Amino acid sequence: MADRYLEQAVLVAAIVVMIGLSLWLQANFFKPKLHQNTPTISHEPDYYMHKFTTTGRDTNGIAYVLVGKNLKHFPDNSSTPGSLLEDLRLDQYDQNNLVRTTSSDSGWIYEDGTKILLQGNVQVTQGATDTAVGSVTSTDRMTIKLR
């Protein structure tokens, strides 16, 4: 009689081990692994431009033309994503008439395109008008709000 209970216990144990093994296999080997496309945070530029020209427009036409030697775009650069500019010139227009030319060694244009920070040998040349004489202003650092 003891042999019969031993056989039943071995049979139940074998069934329990098989169920446990099948559950473990399903959980670890047969379940497809989902590769999530989580963006990798990197402080490296995601694209470069060499000898670039970009134009900003408003309701009156061309608002500005930005020309530079190099542009490096940083998509996540901490709290201020934007683009690093090198050897640039900014021509600003009012109703398609050139009113101001600004140049600098380097600059940073913010991702939303509302401001540009100029640094190093900044020179602003204001054209003469009927009511004002032309002027040239030099500084080492300047922020311009773009429209």
CATH numbers and ranges of domains, the chain: 47-145 (2.60.450.10)
Q: Give the tens place of pLDDT for each residue, 60-117.
A: 888 889 999 999 888 765 566 788 899 999 998 888 788 889 999 999 988 888 899 9
- What is the token pair recorded at 30? 């047969």
Q: Mean per-residue pLDDT for 17-44?
A: 71
- pTM (2 d.p.): 0.65
Q: What is the pLDDT of residue 32?
A: 63
Which burial class, exposed, middle or buried, applies to 119 when counting CB atoms under 10 A from its CB (0-12, 13-18, 19+)? middle
Give the Cα separation of 70 and 55 in Å (integer).
Answer: 16
Confidence band for 143, pLDDT divided at 50, 70 and 90: very high
Question: Residue 69's Cα: distance from chain center in Å?
Answer: 20
Average model confidence (pLDDT) across the chain: 83
Q: Is 102 exposed, middle or buried (0-12, 13-18, 19+ CB in 10 A)?
A: buried
